[in-house]
Amino acid sequence: MKKSIAVIAISSSLLSASVFAAQYGVAGCGLGSELFSPGSGQIFASTTNGTVLNQSFGITSGTSNCTDDAHASAEVRIPRFVAINKVNLADDISRGGGETVENLAAIMGCEKPASVGSKLQQNFQAIFPDPTVTTDRISDQILAVVRQDAELAVQCKQIG
């Protein structure tokens, strides 16, 4: 019986590790992926992930690097990003640049974050018309501004 449980535990950890191997190394997501880089000690990462079922918790809760954001489209990722960074994004867009604008540009696959910041700054009132504007409206406006600009529409490769 103990051998069966051990075999199931080992094969489950290997199966779940293979699901996320491309993004986080062979140990997969979980606390181990946060502590050990894909190029180092994957046996330690795997052991850490198997300890107290933190990998299972991460997959269930979407924490500990257990998200599929890397494969999600910009249209899916932008509203999440805006929801988490709304206040800082508004500040950075009002200034025409900053960390959140650079990260937003990276999500959209833009080659020149400064151009994105400048264009968003010019359209600040359309993006943030009032303090109660919704995340979806902000996201839609950002995408509309980028898509309507001839230069940005070409250089931002992650949006359609």
Which pLDDT tens digit goes with each residue over 59-73?
Answer: 665 666 666 665 677
Is residue 91 located within the same domain as residue 143? yes
Q: Which residues contact 112 (CB under 8 A, 6 or more apart)?
A: 105, 155
Q: Residue 135 — pLDDT band, cuts 50, 70, 90?
A: very high
The answer to whether residue 83 sits within a structural domain is yes
Q: Which residues contact 151 (CB under 8 A, 6 or more apart)?
A: 115
Q: What would the mean pLDDT of 80-104 be, rounded to a whole number? A: 94
**Range scoring the smallest mean pLDDT among 49-58, 75-84, 107-116, 143-152:** 49-58
The answer to whether residue 66 sits within a structural domain is no
pLDDT, the chain, mean: 79
Q: Which residues contact 50 (CB under 8 A, 6 or more apart)?
A: 9, 13
Q: What would the mean pLDDT of 76-80 be, rounded to a whole number? A: 87
Is residue 46 located within the same domain as residue 8? yes
Q: Which domain holds residue 102?
A: 72-155
Pull the structure tokens for residue 98.
């900053």
Q: Report CA dihedral (81, 87, 90, 96) to the nearest 10 degrees.
A: -90
